[in-house]
Chains A and B, each alone.
Chain A
Amino acid sequence: MRSFKDHNPISVFVFYIFAIVPAMFCINPVLMCISLAGGVSFRLAKDGLGALKKMLPFFAFPLLGVILNPLFVHKGVTPLFILNNNPVTLEAVLFGLTLGAMICSTVIWFSSFNSIMTTDKLLYVFGSVSPKIALILSMTLRYIPLYGQQIKKVRQAQIVTGLYKEDNAIDKIRGGLRIMSVMVSWALENGIITADSMSARGYGAGRRSRFTIFGWRTADVALAVLCAALGVVTSVCMGIGHLAFEWYPEIVSPGMSAPAVTAYIAYALLCAIPTVLQIREEARWRSLQSEI
């Protein structure tokens, strides 16, 4: 059974791009509400009610926006009250709220992105550009823990052999430099073995192909195409419909023009995709489970 997170990482990546990026360039309360609703409902569908507690701190952003923006921005025609000889305006408060909501929804989308897109999936997405980049990224990820372990071992060896002082800060810096220099020769020395191992297995013998454990099924293609289509429709309509609000000096809404409505509907459908897929899979699983 495949829920949203089990689809091909490229499809998932396409979704996140269109869910997060357009909304970031358009401070529009309707889009913010849709984005926030989509992000929150997906986390709830994926992780259950416990996720609510984890998301709670993110809602400090709209609150901060409401408090901080009017303190620094005094534009706007509707003063609410005067603070320190400066007017606090309704426009500044509402802009702060919307901006805070945007940051909040972005962070919530990223929280699910992080748990779904593990390093190997990201590697697959960026490695799609070329097999060479894929290999370089993979080797880098291999070497980070390997070097980390070796540095720890060398450090311990220096302590227990009792040959070097570690009495003050200068000794410690010296110790660090010693480790640095020994790591360079260690890496070069053992890099030769890796290079041998690579050429022994035919590296450089010709054009490389690329193997991944992620495949493309019809559902993956459909998901990617759907996300891209909805995303493009949203973006284009945003462009022609001038969806961005004018906030200062007076709030001017773009109104419910045809492109605006299309954009809202398309974006709402897009943001609902992961939640719908998640709930559908769970329902299917439950009905299948009852037959086992």
Chain B
Amino acid sequence: MEILTVRDLSFKYSLGDKDAISGISFGVEEGAFVAVCGPTGCGKSTLLRMLKKELIPMGDIKGEVLLDGVPLSEIDARTSASAVGFVMQRPEHQIVTDKVWHELAFGLENLGLPQDVIRRRVSEIASYFDIEDWFERDVADLSGGQKQLLNLASIMVMQPRLLILDEPTSQLDPIAASDFIATVRKLNTDMGLTVIMVEHRLQEVIPAASMLMIMDKGTLLHYGPARQVCEEVSDRPDLLAAMPSTVRLFKAMGGQGRCPLTIGEGRRWVEGFGCKVQPDFKAFDAARDETPDNDVPALEFSDVWFRYGRDLHDVLRGTTFSVEQGEVFCILGGNGSGKTTCLGAAAGLNKPYSGTVKVFGKNVRDYKNQTLYRNCLTMLPQDVQTVFLKNTVREELKDAGESAAALPYDIESLMDKHPYDLSGGEQQLVALAKVLASQPRILLLDEPTKGIDTYSSERISGILRSLAEGGMTIVLVTHDVEFASRTADRCAMFFRGEVTSVGRPREFFSENNFYTTAVNRMTRGSFKGCVTLEDAVYALKLQDQELSAVEG
């Protein structure tokens, strides 16, 4: 039984000059889990909004959307509000009230349900989502992951039949994101809830999804069972970039046979190549192996201790490490391990109570009157929206005194847009352009790939590499192991306010069991030190050649 039917749907924004989506038709079976993906600006978010009556934007609609065979426009407001649930990207701004319990009750209050019905439903949902412990807390005190879980719970309390999620995990760290996806998956299997989810963490979503939809330029490119679509998808780099590593490796090796979706399947698939020859990855590391020759480190922490308040606990506990000039140094680690605090200490925002932080051999404290930030060090905060002050990208750059032509990348097409209207990846590029205006010698970045699709994150990785080759020192904090493995000269593991291990990406990730790339987890049994997609392709091709040499 189809719960949702979309027939020949086209939509043009009232201010737009062409269709945002055009001629889309598909049906969703009750209980299905549909994953939707596609490059930025392909119309995924517009399509999702067309499925929720209350969120349909202003513009011209052609075609129809049927829920249980009834056109959306004919469904009354109360039924529509509860039948279709919608979770958005930013956890912070979907929350309406100040207390967790009030947020859970908000939707039911809107439906005008009596107090005892609300009480029953709220307590039921609070125990299902295991949020009894923070039921009476202020929402302001919750972590990002808890906030998004609360958003999901406060929609599930309305007992929807169709749940729509628009990149719900893009602002979460990997652990919180997999918890969130696991919860959605559980709702799908436990309750038979129909789910439509846009995601760029496909590695985790695709194994859960029964159907996969790929969109491009406002049209439906593929729609079908997940494995089938993965096998059929074309080799276009921007489409492939969004795919899980297993699928990308499968495609890179010619795409014959059954496509592996999970890491486990990927492992067996790699083993199928025989894997007799150990590849040598030296050639890949040549560019990144040379140790820069200079006596003064760009950034040096020695035995740094820091806490936010006299009575609070230590966040940095004897942090010691040094970053050479011209290298890209990635700090990885769990949530609350002190990574961001450490970056704040390097930028002089957090003043340690013991130990020293030196920038180019000079104590950060001795840089008076902001000289630290003049042509020396600059930091791009995690929430890049905080950097934007003007109404267009052009004014933004003018304000910073930067010309688009001087940038190592092209943002000409974005110049007349409002910074808030850009996609996550574009925002990151514009913010980066702005901070580069002060011509820093050290660039600090906090989670530069948060909320960004893989294609943009690969682009940012390339830009950072070229900046580093120009002599800039880059220190970045990230959760994104794939990004770190591609970008870093050296990686450091941060745990409980200390650097517990430092190493070149290849050794660093091959020694880690959990904190490592999907490719490394797939090839761990077969090859040593295989970390990135390129490594794996090289290694597997080597096996093929060996095989044909033996046969020949």
Residues of A within 8 A of B (CB): 120, 131, 135, 138-139, 141-142, 145-146, 149-150, 153-154, 156-157, 159-163, 165-167, 178, 181-182, 185-186, 189-191, 193-194, 196-213
B98 engages A161 (CB within 8 Å): no
Q: Which residue of A lies closest to B85 (CB)?
A: A200
Asked whether B548 is an interface residue with its Cβ less than 8 Å from the other chain, the reply is: no
Asked whether B463 is an interface residue with its Cβ less than 8 Å from the other chain, the reply is: no
A142 to B137, CA, bound (A): 12
Shortest Cβ distance from B351 into chain A, in angstroms?
13
Shortest Cβ distance from A120 into chain B, in angstroms?
6
Q: Which residue of A lies closest to B384 (CB)?
A: A157
Which chain B residues (71-116) contact chain A, with CB distance < 8 Å?
77-78, 81-82, 85-86, 88, 90, 92-99, 101-102, 105-115
Given contacts A139-B97, A142-B97, 9 further A-B contacts (CB under 8 A): A120-B98, A139-B96, A160-B379, A181-B389, A185-B420, A199-B54, A206-B110, A206-B112, A209-B118
Contacts of A206 in B (CB 8 A): 77-78, 110-112
Q: Which residue of A lies closest to B343 (CB)?
A: A160
A153 engages B381 (CB within 8 Å): yes
Per-residue A-contact encoding for B384-398, CB less than 8 Å = 1, 0 else: 011111010000000
B370 engages A162 (CB within 8 Å): yes
A156 to B369, CA, bound (A): 15
Contacts of A209 in B (CB 8 A): 108-109, 111-115, 118
B115 engages A211 (CB within 8 Å): yes
Contacts of A138 in B (CB 8 A): 96-99, 102
Contacts of B88 in A (CB 8 A): 193, 196-197
Looking at the complex, which one of A145, A167, A213 makes contact with B138 (CB distance below 8 Å)? A145
B373 engages A142 (CB within 8 Å): no
Asked whether B437 is an interface residue with its Cβ less than 8 Å from the other chain, the reply is: yes
A120 engages B99 (CB within 8 Å): yes
Contacts of B110 in A (CB 8 A): 198, 201-206, 208
A154 to B387, CA, bound (A): 7
A213 to B434, CA, bound (A): 48
A161 engages B389 (CB within 8 Å): no
A39 to B243, CA, bound (A): 68
Contacts of B136 in A (CB 8 A): 120, 213
Q: How large is the interface on B (under 10, 10 to 19, 20 to 34, 35 or more residues)?
A: 35 or more
Looking at the complex, which one of B54, B118, B420 makes contact with A211 (CB distance below 8 Å)? B118
Shortest Cβ distance from B514 into chain A, in angstroms?
31
Per-residue A-contact encoding for B423-451, CB less than 8 Å = 1, 0 else: 00000000000110110100010000000
Shortest Cβ distance from A194 into chain B, in angstroms?
5
Q: Which residue of A lies closest to B139 (CB)?
A: A142
Contacts of B99 in A (CB 8 A): 120, 138
Contacts of B78 in A (CB 8 A): 202, 205-206
Contacts of B151 in A (CB 8 A): 197
Contacts of A157 in B (CB 8 A): 381, 386-387
Which chain B residues (42-88) contact chain A, with CB distance < 8 Å?
52, 54-55, 77-78, 81-82, 85-86, 88
A58 to B155, CA, bound (A): 50
Contacts of B259 in A (CB 8 A): none
17 A-B pairs with CB atoms under 8 Å apart are A135-B109, A156-B381, A157-B381, A161-B379, A162-B435, A163-B400, A185-B391, A194-B96, A198-B96, A200-B81, A201-B106, A201-B155, A202-B54, A202-B81, A209-B111, A211-B101, A211-B115
Contacts of A167 in B (CB 8 A): 369-370
- On whether A211 and B138 interact (CB within 8 A), knowing A157-B386, A161-B434, A162-B440, the answer reads no
A283 to B264, CA, bound (A): 62
A178 to B396, CA, bound (A): 13
Contacts of B401 in A (CB 8 A): 163
B122 engages A160 (CB within 8 Å): no
Shortest Cβ distance from B130 into chain A, in angstroms?
18
A212 to B386, CA, bound (A): 36
A153 engages B90 (CB within 8 Å): no
Asked whether B158 is an interface residue with its Cβ less than 8 Å from the other chain, the reply is: yes
Contacts of A212 in B (CB 8 A): 115
Shortest Cβ distance from A140 into chain B, in angstroms?
8
Shortest Cβ distance from A181 into chain B, in angstroms?
7
- On whether A160 and B55 interact (CB within 8 A), knowing A202-B107, A202-B111, A202-B158, the answer reads no
Asked whether B365 is an interface residue with its Cβ less than 8 Å from the other chain, the reply is: no
Shortest Cβ distance from A162 into chain B, in angstroms?
3
A206 to B107, CA, bound (A): 12
B77 engages A161 (CB within 8 Å): no
Shortest Cβ distance from B430 into chain A, in angstroms?
13
- On whether A197 and B349 interact (CB within 8 A), knowing A142-B98, A145-B140, A205-B81, the answer reads no
A153 engages B96 (CB within 8 Å): no
Q: Which residue of B lies closest to A143 (CB)?
A: B98
Shortest Cβ distance from A214 into chain B, in angstroms?
11
A166 engages B96 (CB within 8 Å): no
Most chain B C-beta atoms within 10 Å of own C-beta, residue among A182, A199, A204, A211: A211
A205 engages B378 (CB within 8 Å): no
Asked whether B171 is an interface residue with its Cβ less than 8 Å from the other chain, the reply is: no
A161 engages B94 (CB within 8 Å): no
Looking at the complex, which one of A156, A162, A190, A207 makes contact with B349 (CB distance below 8 Å)? A156
Q: Which residue of A lies closest to B115 (CB)?
A: A211
Q: Which residue of B lies closest to A137 (CB)?
A: B98
A178 engages B97 (CB within 8 Å): no
A211 to B107, CA, bound (A): 10
Asked whether B347 is an interface residue with its Cβ less than 8 Å from the other chain, the reply is: yes
A209 to B92, CA, bound (A): 25
A163 engages B437 (CB within 8 Å): yes
Looking at the complex, which one of A139, A161, A182 makes contact with B438 (CB distance below 8 Å)? A161
Q: Which residue of A lies closest to B57 (CB)?
A: A196
Shortest Cβ distance from B477 into chain A, in angstroms?
14
Contacts of A181 in B (CB 8 A): 389
Contacts of B380 in A (CB 8 A): 161
B389 engages A160 (CB within 8 Å): no
Shortest Cβ distance from A23 into chain B, in angstroms?
34
A72 to B400, CA, bound (A): 63
Contacts of A178 in B (CB 8 A): 389
Closest 8 CB pairs of A and B: A162-B373, A202-B81, A211-B105, A201-B107, A193-B93, A205-B77, A202-B110, A160-B379
A185 to B421, CA, bound (A): 12
A193 to B372, CA, bound (A): 37
Contacts of A194 in B (CB 8 A): 93-96
A138 to B474, CA, bound (A): 43
Most chain B C-beta atoms within 10 Å of own C-beta, residue among A150, A209, A213: A209
Shortest Cβ distance from B155 into chain A, in angstroms?
7
A201 to B155, CA, bound (A): 7
Shortest Cβ distance from B41 into chain A, in angstroms?
19
Most chain A C-beta atoms within 10 Å of own C-beta, residue among B96, B114, B122, B158: B96
B420 engages A189 (CB within 8 Å): yes
A149 to B106, CA, bound (A): 24
A166 to B437, CA, bound (A): 17
Shortest Cβ distance from B96 into chain A, in angstroms?
6
A161 to B155, CA, bound (A): 39
Asked whether B362 is an interface residue with its Cβ less than 8 Å from the other chain, the reply is: no
Which chain B residues (14-55) contact chain A, with CB distance < 8 Å?
52, 54-55
